[in-house]
Each structure stands twice: as C-alpha cells, then as structure tokens.
Structure 1
Amino acid sequence: MKENKTKPDIRFKGFTDDWEQRKLGEIVGIYDGVHQTPKYQDSGIMFLSVENISTLQSTKYISEEDFKRDYKVYPQENDILMTRIGDVGTTNVMTDNTLKAYYVSLALLKYKNTNPYFLSNAMQSNYVQKGLANRTLKTAVPMKINKDEIGKVDVILTAAVEEQSKIGSYFKNLDNLITLHQRECNQLKELKKTMLKKMFPRDGSNIPEVRFAGFTDDWEQRKLGDVTQIIMGQSPDGSTYSETPKDYILVQGNSDIKDGWVEPRLWTTQMTKKADVGDLIMSVRAPAGSMGKTAYNVVIGRGVAAIKGNEFIFQSLIKKDIEGFWKKITTGSTFESLNSNDIKNSNLLVPVNEEQIKIGQYFSQLDNLITLHQRELEILKNLKKTCLKRMFI
C-alpha cells in the first residue's frame, strides 16, 4: 500500500471524500478481561476466551457473584472483542446484551461513533493487521499485544456515517453467509460420524444398528489384504522433485491430500510405485491412517499406500481412522508409521451382497454434500479477503 493512499479501490456509489487516519484509542474504549483463571461451573455467566472468538459461544461459565465482582465493564451489543494472546487481531461483534465474561486473552473495544461492523472488518485489513503485528510481543510465549499498545495502532476510515453503515452491512451479511455454510458443513460432518457408527457394526457385533430395507444377513470378517490389493509407496530420487508441473504427480503424505482428495503439490520425472485414478490413498506416516482418493494417475512415495478398493472399503477405513484404530498399531517412538503387514492384516466386517454398494453410495453422496459446502465456504472466504483488500485502505 502506498503511504499517501486516502481512498479505497472500491466504494459504494455517491462517496468520494478522502478517508482519514486515526488511532484506535481515539475511536474506541479498550478494556481488559480478567487475568486470573476463574472458577468454572456448569451454568451462570458464559465465559469467553480466545478460542471462542469465531462464535462468541462457550461451554464455560462463572457465577453471577464472580461476574459482579470482576466486571465493572463488560461486553454489550455492538461492542467488539479482539484476540490479543496467541492469535492477535481477530475480531467479532457482540450481537446481543446477554451477559458474558471474558478472559485476558481478549480485549474489549467499545465503539464511540464508529459502526462496529465497519470497524471490526477495517481491523482485518492488511494495514491494521500490520500495525498490530508491529506492536505484538513476538518473543513472549504465547505471543501477545499489551492492551495499551492496541490503542496506538493506526486505522484509516471514512468519516461518513452512511458509508460506514453500508460497508458494515455488506460485511455483516457476508460473514453471516460464511457462518451459515460453516455451520452446515460442520453439521454434515457430525452426521457422517454418527452414521459411520450406526451403519457399521459396533465392537462385538456382526450387524449394524441402521440398515437399508431388505438386508438382514450377518456381516463377515475379512482381512483387508484379502479383499483388496495394497501397494506400499516407494519414493523417487529426491533430485527429480519439482514444484512446477512435470511428468508425474507425486503423493508423499497427508499434506498432498485436501478434503479427501489428492491435490497436486509436487511433481517428479521418475516413476517408482504408482496409483491409478480412483485408487484409495492411505497415509502410512504421521498422521498414519488418514485417507483420501485420487482423481489422477500418481506416483506414491514412502509416506503413503495405494489401496484398490471400492467406496465401502474407503468409508470402512475412514471409520477405523476416526476411532483411532491405526494409532494403536503404529510403530516408531518418534515417527509413527504403519507397515505393510499392519495394513493387510487389519480386520474388516463386510456385507457379502449389494448392501456394500448401497452403503458406499450413501456415504459418497454425503461426502459430495460436505465438499459442496466446503467449496462454497472457500469461495466466500476468498471473496471476503478480496473485499478487505479493495474496500479498505
């Protein structure tokens, strides 16, 4: 950003005046949370800390007596909370007057004449984030910004109340959309965890709790190596690796898998062991047991194995991972790993008819819904990043 820039790139129609530079301390009152760890209880006044900034909801509570003793100033509707220990500079706006307590890891910003949604997002701009970073004690563990330093940070804003209101409303609506998709995505993920428990047999049983109509037969135990082909990876010569597209996509571990699919990150010109389109990819090193699929023909390194299995097998292995099965059989004291025999000899309960296909289809559709919401969420988050750059200075 040029130092003499006084107007954002994008504005609502009708606004042309220069924006002005102010200190945060001139436009908000800044307050501290309690420094001592409170005495928690099951109900009472909700207690917020840095990890609660995205939702402003918590499962921790303190008594009304402690609240009255420790909080002469407390969050109210349209106030801003900002993280200041560990994570520095993330903000959120209070939406109601329900009493809430807050820890020292959060700073309370009480706005004076500034639209809170405008200011909260202005504080996410690169300009303000850089100012906060410059005053953050990075040598502290965890890093933090002192309360008095927050007020010294510069922010550039419009003095026009109507322009602040329009910008604030735009970002409030965008944040609500992001929250909606995040909530739906989280709910679908929780649904999947629940159905993995109910549609696969529990320990000691050979039939699941929930089944498709028409299926009553017991499931049968098989070893994974007997029902599918498993190929352990072999890393190419490191000198052949490239971050620009070459002959083959290289998969080395969990870092090459995003949202359950291989995502090209590295390439190689050397073919060692390979996996084909549609194969299942298992990480065999930390975190051992995490699963993905590949939509590419790939070279697999030592950190992964390729499994030629169907959708049912894929979901079965995901269930094992969620339940911590693989962690129980990993080897290595400092670097956990799974060997070929560990994987091949692992037991699976499987239906021996088309129930297997129906279960696979159900979870595939559920995964597609999750992916859809994740993509929408990513689009909205990227839109917000772009708007923060172009609608603020």
Structure 2
Amino acid sequence: MIVKNSSLSVDTEKLRKKILDLAMRGKLVPQDSQDEPASVLLEKIKEEKAQLIKEKKIKKSKPLPEITEEEKPFEIPESWEWVRLGEILDVRDGTHDTPKYLDSGVPLITAKNLDNGSIDFNNVNYISFEDAKKINQRSKVDKDDIIFAMIGTIGNPVLVQEEYSMAIKNVALLKKIYYLNMKYILRCIQFSENRMYKKSNGGNQKFISLKKIREFTIPLPPLAEQKRIVAKVEECMQAIKTIEDSSKEYEKLENQLDKKVLDLAMRGKLVPKDSQDEPASVLLEKIKEEKAQLIKEKKIKKSKPLPEITEEEKPFEIPESWEWVRLGEVAKNELYSMADGPFGSNLKKDHYTLSQEVRIIQLSNIGEDGWRNENKKYTTFDHLKEISRSEVKSGDIVIAKMMPAGRAIIVPDIEKKYVLSSDAVKFIPDTRIFKPYMLHLINSPVFKKQVQSDLQGSTRPRTSITKLKNILCPLPPLAEQKRIVTKIEEIDIYLKN
C-alpha cells in the first residue's frame, strides 16, 4: 500500500520488508555482550536432538552438509550463527497424496488455507478420521509449530496459536526441538520467501522439497536477542498498520468530503448567487438558436429531439437562475460531439501497432481522479480514418460506460492523436459552457446516481450513449459555473494540504 499526504509518500510493503531485512542482519536492535552466543544455543539444540533420537521421539535424519561461504547471503554479528533449518528444528511435511474428500470430518489444510499469517478454515476439504490419523502419525500439527506452503505460492508461514484437529497436505511443518523463539523463526521464513522460491523446482506449479527445506540457511541470534528482535519487529509492524488504517480512514473521509462538496455545488449551495449573471435559460436559448441555424445551413443534421423534462424527473430544487437540461442538449453543435467507441470488430488486436500513432483510450485510463497513463495501446493513423467518428482530441471529456459507469476525465495533451475504445463515450460541451464545470458535474453524485440506476447487464453492468444523452444536469449561469469550479479547486487544495 502507498500511503500519501501532502508531505509524505510511503510504500508500507517495502517498509515491512526493510524492517525484516534489518532484523535478519542484526541491525534492528543492539547486541548485548551479556547474551549467551548462538553457538552455545546451537550446541544445546544438538544435544537435545541427539537425546530425542535416542528416546525415539524423533527420527534420525541424514547428516546435513557444512554451510559454505556462498550459502551465506550477508554478514551477521559475531554472536550469531548461520544454521540450516534441519539443524535447529524437526522439519517434516504433510501428505502429498490426495485422500478421499468428505462432506464433514477432519479439515485437510493446504496452501490455499494459509492466509496472511492465519489458517482459513472457511474453505477446506474434509477427510476421514482414519486418513487424518495416518497423515498425523508423521506430521501432526501442534501449538507453536510453524506451517508453510511447499507448493505454488511458497512460504506464507503460519505460527499455530492453538491445538486444532486437522491434517496437512503439501505443507511444511517446523517443530521446536529446544529453546527457540518460534516467532523469530516465523519472521525468518517471511523474510526468506524469495530465496526459498528460487530454490524450488517445477514450471507453473513451483515446489520445494523437504530436503531443500532442511538444508535452507537462516541467521540465528542468541535467544535473548531473538526475543528483542521479535518485540521490535512487532512494534514496527503495528506502527505501519496504524499508518495504513489512518490513511484508509483519511481517504474514506476525503472521498466523502469530495462527494459532499460536489453535491452542494450541483444544488447551487456552494457559492453565492449574483443577480447580474446572465441566467442559464438565456444561455440555453443561444445554443438552440445556433443549432437551428446550422441545421438550416445543412452544416449539421437534424437529430431526434430529446424528451421534455418533467417535474417528476427533477431530483431536487435548483436556484431560479439555473436550468435542468439533458446532457445531449449541451453538447457542442457539431457532428460527433457525443460519440462512443467503435464496435469490437472495428477495433481489435489486429488493428494495434507498436508505433506510437493513435492512442486508444481504454477503461483503465479513465481514473476516478483523472487520467491514468497506463496500459498503453495504439492503432494506426490509417485505421483512424475508418473509425473517425470515435476520434478524440486533447481537452475532450471522456466518460466510462462501465467499471464503474459514469466516471469521467479530460483527455491530456500527451499524444499525437486519440481514439475511443468500445467502452467509452466522448462528450464535447458547447463552447458557451465551462468545460471544467461539466467534468465536475459528470463526476458528481447527482449524475452518477442517475447512471447507476439504469444499467444493463448482470456480469458487466454498463450504460449507453443514448442513456448518457438523457441524463439530467443542473446548469447554472456561465459566470457561476466558473465560480463553482474555483471554489471546488480551493477546497480540494485545502483538503490535500
């Protein structure tokens, strides 16, 4: 997550990784010369392991190779030791067979059930008690064990917090032999996921073997320092979560304030009225007169008139100097001032080009907060001639038909030419209407509510150019349109700062 305000931009995921990196290098908390060195702890673990093997509580495993210098990815403090997981832990794994699934029984935990540090029991397969008993003879999961995925998304470790009735499949199991802070081991696995993934085999479905897990190297601090590291990491992670939560709350509040400001603006309650302003009715009359003249001169074709606005349709009262209009009524009096993108067959992958000729405006470019310069696709100048009705110029307004429908942007001046994709509509307002006001209007609750109330399709709900032309818009006098935009921009700057 990227957390931003006027003076700060923080990538919290990178910050989490950096904290773990410092922790694993011995740079997060100070060393203490009074701590018993990790070499002594390691010797105690070996002695305890030998005793458990003697008592037949754990099986004797194949001796692990000496750690080479090449296997040590970075330097660690003198009181630490590089160790293999199999040296300090009892490393096992669950079944790799697929038992018969039942409607109820014992949950079989797989990689898909390991979710952000916890076990998700909501989406599990169940197996019989007999099958679970067989699996658990060699891989019973107990409290304070660590389990993590061996297949697919390798890692995603979980420290088991309580006793569960379950069995595991394609999941590694780490059991403590002697005094170790298992929360520290958990952080080690989290930190090492990339390195572990590189040691995996397979194509699309990666897999790391039990042998490679046992031989995997981690840095081991003194036991006392393990505890200090865990405490500091948890303190830092909690601080990051607080930052994220605060940022989300602020974003939510900011979004609500933005909507409220636009709602007040469209009701005529954001800026004072001026009796000297030319009423919107006069402005509308001029647009109609010009349109009639252009039709008479055969410069544009006569279009089917939009339906009269009834009193029942008006969602709220507006000032006397304002007028309710349909979006199509205030489009510029020229051919294709409102047009949608070409049908799919008229602009498909065959028409794309690697050369930067005509930028295709896609849904991903129409952001909630403006133009998004991503997912760049182009067609040719020659093909644009065949779909010229869908050409867009910088400064035009483009409205998304879906995902969600109704959001709008002004096209920036960064490409030679533009053309719409099939999921977008261009809108060029009349020159006597302030374009930034129309952009705010289209992005306001009053406009979006109308769009969202009349969508077609269940899987991918969308609007159409016909429906957009009929949307009701509150139109103030031109001078007031400009005052409204100035006030919205002032408030926006204030909120961001």
**Residue 307 (structure 1) shift:** 6.3
Partner of 1:166: 228
1:56/1:297 CA distance change after superposition, 3 Å: same
**Residue 130 (structure 1) shift:** 4.7
Distance, in Å, in 1 between the alignment partners of 2:119 and 2:173 is 13
Higher gyration radius (CA): 2
Number of residue pairs aligned between Structure 1 and Structure 2: 285
Question: Superposition pairs for residues 184-203 of structure 1, below 5 Å?
Answer: none
The answer to whether residue 216 in structure 2 is matched with residue 150 in structure 1 is no
Distance, in Å, in 1 between the alignment partners of 2:88 and 2:112 is 26
Partner of 1:343: 464
1:266/1:349 CA distance change after superposition, 3 Å: closer
2:197 to 133, 145, 152: 133
Partner of 1:99: 165
More contact order relative to length (CA 8 Å, sep ≥ 6): 1
The answer to whether residue 156 in structure 2 is matched with residue 90 in structure 1 is yes
1:130/1:320 CA distance change after superposition, 3 Å: same
Question: Superposition pairs for residues 291-306 of structure 1, below 5 Å?
Answer: 293=407, 297-298=411-412, 302-303=420-421, 305-306=424-425
**Residue 56 (structure 1) shift:** 1.1
Distance, in Å, in 1 between the alignment partners of 2:232 and 2:85 is 22
Q: Indicate the larger mover: 36-45 or 148-157.
A: 36-45
1:70/1:120 CA distance change after superposition, 3 Å: same
Partner of 2:459: 324
Distance, in Å, in 1 between the alignment partners of 2:367 and 2:233 is 28
Report the 3-state secondary structure (helix = DSSP H, G, I; strand = E; otherwise coil) of the residue aligned with 2:154: strand
User: Does the CA contact (< 8 Å) of 2:327 and 2:470 recur in 1?
Assistant: no
Deviation track 1:204-253 (CA, whole Å, cap 9, x = no partner) reads: xxxxxxxxxxxxx8999xxx997995543899985348xxxxxx9x7744
Distance, in Å, in 2 between the alignment partners of 1:116 and 1:84 is 19
Report the 3-state secondary structure (helix = DSSP H, G, I; strand = E; otherwise coil) of the residue aligned with 1:239: coil
Give the partner amino acid of 1:169.
Answer: A
Distance, in Å, in 1 between the alignment partners of 2:220 and 2:453 is 49
Deviation track 1:142-165 (CA, whole Å, cap 9, x = no partner) reads: 12112222111211232x222212
Distance, in Å, in 2 between the alignment partners of 1:279 and 1:36 is 54
User: Does the CA contact (< 8 Å) of 2:366 and 2:409 recur in 1?
Assistant: no
Deviation track 1:50-86 (CA, whole Å, cap 9, x = no partner) reads: 1221141123252444322321232222222211211
The answer to whether residue 25 in structure 2 is matched with residue 25 in structure 1 is no
Question: Superposition pairs for residues 128-277 of structure 1, below 5 Å?
Answer: 128-139=192-203, 141-158=204-221, 160-172=222-234, 231-232=340-341, 239-240=355-356, 252-253=361-362, 256=365, 262-265=371-374, 273-274=392-393
RMSD: 5.2
Distance, in Å, in 2 between the alignment partners of 1:94 and 1:348 is 58
**Residue 351 (structure 1) shift:** 10
Distance, in Å, in 1 between the alignment partners of 2:197 and 2:133 is 34
Distance, in Å, in 1 between the alignment partners of 2:145 and 2:401 is 47
1:226/1:124 CA distance change after superposition, 3 Å: same
1:218/1:117 CA distance change after superposition, 3 Å: farther
**Residue 26 (structure 1) shift:** 1.5
Distance, in Å, in 2 between the alignment partners of 1:142 and 1:165 is 36
User: Does the CA contact (< 8 Å) of 2:81 and 2:220 recur in 1?
Assistant: yes
1:260/1:42 CA distance change after superposition, 3 Å: farther
Q: Indicate the larger mover: 304-313 or 161-170.
A: 304-313
1:138/1:66 CA distance change after superposition, 3 Å: closer
The answer to whether residue 139 in structure 2 is matched with residue 66 in structure 1 is no
1:46/1:13 CA distance change after superposition, 3 Å: same
Distance, in Å, in 1 between the alignment partners of 2:356 and 2:26 is 44
User: Does the CA contact (< 8 Å) of 1:47 and 1:58 recur in 2?
Assistant: no
Deviation track 1:247-289 (CA, whole Å, cap 9, x = no partner) reads: x9x7744555778875433789x9x625769864357xxxxx5
User: Does the CA contact (< 8 Å) of 1:82 and 1:88 recur in 2?
Assistant: yes
**Residue 137 (structure 1) shift:** 0.8
**Residue 34 (structure 1) shift:** 2.4
Distance, in Å, in 2 between the alignment partners of 1:348 and 1:43 is 56
Deviation track 1:303-357 (CA, whole Å, cap 9, x = no partner) reads: 4524664455647559969930459xxxxxxxxxxxxxx833679999999xxxx
1:107/1:349 CA distance change after superposition, 3 Å: farther
**Residue 136 (structure 1) shift:** 0.9
User: Does the CA contact (< 8 Å) of 2:367 and 2:408 recur in 1?
Assistant: no
**Residue 138 (structure 1) shift:** 3.1
User: Does the CA contact (< 8 Å) of 1:76 and 1:99 recur in 2?
Assistant: no
Distance, in Å, in 1 between the alignment partners of 2:236 and 2:453 is 33
**% same residue:** 17
